[in-house]
Chain A
């Protein structure tokens, strides 16, 4: 078996084991209702981190607007679910369709941003995605959308000015109040399946011809071009897939809280996801999962420290960052896992 295949199988195994453990702990009440309530959020943050790693770690482009794609996915899918709530009565089917819509709309935004920006060299993507995140958030904050028998109505002023038909009218987005109620269709099990699908796509893509091409753009753009790798194509591919899954994470978020507004889709969220990716290791999918898990839970576990909670959090982040970039620490870790790695290397060489 190829070393990469084996590495990926271990990652799936870790995720499945974590899911089983969480399910068990949640069912037996060990987890408590507060922590059980965090299972879905942790899941969509894992999807966000893994998908962002595709852009930042594997493609090597900085994106500061991942929450923007999440926002697009959340809003479009929530509108869909509110409209079809009475038509599609199976929550699972409704959520699956919502995810398809949320993911695709986010992917379209990815393409729209990617086509002009990814042609350029330098950190333009960081600037544009940052702007995109803020603009999309403010747009959804200001817009009123409603539906009646005549179709969709929009307004930037207030709900009244949409002039919805009295009998059939329904407000979808109520300005800053957002969308409510969104059917609470997200479950931990669905999230788990979506994580597996995300891993499947991202890891298989990375370990294929296209994935090598994406990494070649990161490692050496000029060399990639002169061996015939089309830079823009692969940049766009990675960025779009990344946006797609951010959109899906947004769908899971929207369908987990009944009142959807734009509060969470801000710069801080984008940066937090980026922190998960960087601390987990650029390009390491497994690292993104573990870092998200630990860093998301850390503030919860530090709850007993009350006021000092964020201080501890900051200190731990800094330590993690230092250790992650420390060669001695890295070699310590690799010597601990050395035997396993050694075996893997040998097997790979025999193939």
Chain B
């Protein structure tokens, strides 16, 4: 079964076809790249896959399950998690609480139990704390568990966002320009992290990167988007040597 299949996804904003005929298929455990110039429609694809935007046409399936028309909350419960191009953390809450929010639906207990401090509160909070710290360790953030998220340096904020997304235990992780604003060292480390996450959590990853050289390092397959349409899809090496792709990038 495919991890993700999209069939002719499309959306229009005020007459502009932001994405049109978007069809891809991602294997289980695959690291898949989505590249293309600015404004090509990459983030819009993520917004459709997470229910933030309702696609105007097409359909998409997570491990065979149709997700079209579901709300972001339902889609999260089905197993898609994401990060954002412009980091969206819960700024005023601690690093630990950000990750615990990612665990929101994995260790549920009622608000009443929380207010009255019933046993389920203590049990689930303990499990949440342990699981969250475990995740923070993967990203070397456990030392800053009690820091307010807004006070983290930029690179760590990006990592925290990935940790929070992983906390939801997704089948498919969508990363929107995770290396944006990072220096080459940080980027190299991040790419290692991404590979590690895929192997350790056994998930599929769809990665948006503006910079082609980064994608070529870790993605097995890529799709190139240009003006909302797929220019080409295939094995990374083949796609990157495609003259059409080179033209689209140089023409940028």
Interface residues of A (CB under 8 A from B): 3, 200-201, 204-205, 207-213, 215-216, 218-220, 222-231, 237, 283, 345, 348-349
Contacts and interface: CB of A to CB of B under 8 A. Distances in A.
Interface in B109-168: 109-111, 113-117, 121, 124-125, 128, 145-146, 164-165, 167-168
Contacts of A237: 111
Nearest to B124: A209
Interface residues of B, number: 44
Main secondary structure of the interface of A (DSSP, over half): helix
Among A201, A215, A223, which residue has the most Cβ atoms of chain B within 10 A?
A223
B115 A204 contact: yes
A226 B76 contact: yes
21 contacts: A204-B117, A205-B114, A208-B121, A209-B108, A212-B97, A212-B104, A213-B101, A213-B104, A215-B93, A216-B93, A219-B89, A219-B91, A220-B90, A222-B72, A223-B90, A225-B72, A227-B101, A228-B104, A230-B73, A237-B111, A283-B92
Interface in B59-109: 71-73, 75-77, 81-82, 84, 88-93, 97, 100-102, 104-105, 107-109
A212 B145 contact: no
B114 A226 contact: no
Contacts of B101: 212-213, 216, 224, 227, 229
Contacts of A224: 90, 101
A211 B128 CA distance: 15
Contacts of B40: none
A219 B93 contact: yes
Contacts, number: 104
A213 B77 CA distance: 15
A228 B145 contact: no
A201 B115 contact: yes
B146 A209 contact: no
A226 B82 CA distance: 7
Given A213-B101, A226-B76, A205 B91 contact: no
Contacts of B236: none
Contacts of A223: 84, 88-90
Given A227-B102, A227-B164, A205 B50 contact: no
B145 to A, nearest CB: 7
Contact of B81 (A208, A211, A216, A226): A226
Contacts of B91: 219-220
Contact of A220 (B76, B77, B88, B114): B88
Contacts of B50: 226
Given A205-B115, A210-B114, A215 B77 contact: no
B52 interface: yes
Contacts of B116: 204
Contacts of B115: 200-201, 204-205, 208
| Complex A-B, nearest 3 residue pairs according to Cβ-Cβ distance, in ascending order | A208-B114, A228-B76, A210-B111
B44 to A, nearest CB: 14
Contacts of A218: 92
Nearest to B50: A226
A219 B87 CA distance: 12
A211 B102 contact: no
Contacts of B52: 222, 225-226
Interface in B182-196: none
Contacts of B75: 226
Contacts of B128: 209
A200 B114 CA distance: 11
A239 B111 CA distance: 14
B79 to A, nearest CB: 10
A345 B146 contact: yes
A225 B102 CA distance: 11
